[in-house]
Chains A and B, each alone.
Chain A
């Protein structure tokens, strides 16, 4: 993986990466991006670009994370003098700063009350509403966070991020059906999101009790995720895992299924997949996983974008499988 980048931070930041990111603060803070010349000249001789502010924002997050509050304060002042302190995003960043510096739950409650004040004046400020929910979560009041999120979603039902968050909150509480519903809403907004398909499949896979129909749904969604992304490691991994679990169950149904008449409770909307199809899918997934593991292991050019932990997990899955067969 390339060196830590403030313009495009990686999708998951370990503490070590966060440290590397926040160590970029001094050189960036030593130069001033905005011009001090009077108005028409300042437009001509400025060195700022849209990227400048993306970098500042990401640096702000990184410094808060590593406890470099002084740099964070400097960046915040810079941003508010550039975009006015009343700007919606600046208000949110200020809120994050205050949250980070709150030492006791009482201080955090004060930040929370502050958010309520902002919302009383301007109820349409969605970023502050999201911060409010984040504080509730941070205070460990998950039920309230869920309620606040449902209210937010009633007002703005096309917010995929909020649906995903609500789905995650439900899943953490083990409410699989509700979580699946939320992720289905995410899919309505972003139907091509392979990650959302894999997540919904994971939820179906984890649903208890796991029956043929829940596993079949998981299989379908994993299959869709790899249909949308031909090298999606998580999708292929899930496909293999689910099909391995499904094959003995389907074989069982195939043997005893004809005798039983009451099968309508199992297949609600679609019939379970055929045994041969699932077997073929399993073979396909094994082949793809093996290819990814091999290519990544060899360090082939164009195959280095995978997460190392995920590749190791895939290799372990293949090894486990190999021992049973051989």
Chain B
């Protein structure tokens, strides 16, 4: 899809530039004559091709129904957006927007939600015990 959209955009841009240049040439040479048909057609064609290229280059649409959208997040998990930060971390798309409530682990859950109340000593102890048991789950 990216190859198709890049090609369309490139072709469209070339034609658009050519059409604009031709118009400029024509109006400076014959100031009073009307624009010939082939320039108009080229202009319209290039705009169409460019529009198609831009539409193909856009990311896929999100579901507009809440339950579908939420279901998609739940089913697919967080996917890569194809970019990386300078530190080498992958940029992921959106996840559960309510994860901050920390309710997914159930009662007394061990999730990472509710950062404000993060139990650093509990987590450290959990890790120390994991190391002591030989790194098994």
Contacts and interface: CB of A to CB of B under 8 A. Distances in A.
A7 B112 contact: no
Contact of B112 (A11, A190, A195, A304): A11
Contact of B123 (A27, A65, A304): A65
A172 B107 contact: yes
B52 to A, nearest CB: 27
Nearest to A12: B111
B25 interface: no
B96 A65 contact: no
Contacts of B88: 24, 27
B74 A232 contact: yes
B73 to A, nearest CB: 7
Interface in A297-311: 302-306
Given A134-B117, A231-B71, A67 B98 contact: no
A127 to B, nearest CB: 6
Contact of B114 (A96, A99, A165, A198): A165
Given A8-B92, A52-B85, A164-B102, A96 B76 contact: no
Contacts of A222: none
A114 B78 CA distance: 39
B121 A100 contact: yes
B75 A303 contact: yes
A67 B128 contact: yes
A61 B94 CA distance: 21
Interface string A154-198: 000000111011001001100000000000001000101111101
Contact of A195 (B78, B85, B103): B103
Nearest to B110: A12
Nearest to A99: B120
B108 A230 contact: no
Interface stretch (A13-21, A35-43, A243-251): A13-21
Contacts of B121: 99-100, 102, 108, 138
B130 to A, nearest CB: 4
B114 A65 contact: no
Nearest to A198: B103
Interface in B76-98: 76-78, 80, 85-92, 95-96, 98
B127 A49 contact: no
Nearest to B133: A15
A137 interface: yes
Nearest to A183: B103
B106 interface: yes
B100 A161 contact: yes
A228 B66 contact: yes
A230 B68 contact: yes
Interface residues of A, number: 76
A2 interface: yes
B109 to A, nearest CB: 8
B96 A64 contact: no
A9 interface: yes
A5 B74 contact: no
Given A6-B87, A196-B101, A302 B111 contact: no
A7 B104 CA distance: 20
A137 B87 contact: no
Q: Which 4 A-B pairs have the closest CB atoms?
A: A305-B77, A15-B130, A230-B71, A229-B70
Interface of A: 1-3, 5-16, 18-19, 24, 27-28, 47, 49, 51-52, 55, 61, 64-67, 96, 99-100, 102, 108, 126-127, 130-131, 133-134, 137-138, 160-162, 164-165, 168, 171-172, 186, 190, 192-196, 198-199, 202-203, 206, 227-234, 302-306
29 contacts: A5-B92, A7-B90, A7-B92, A9-B112, A11-B99, A12-B110, A16-B135, A18-B127, A52-B87, A55-B85, A65-B120, A67-B124, A100-B121, A100-B124, A134-B118, A168-B102, A168-B108, A186-B101, A190-B101, A192-B66, A196-B103, A199-B103, A227-B67, A230-B68, A230-B70, A303-B75, A305-B73, A305-B75, A305-B77
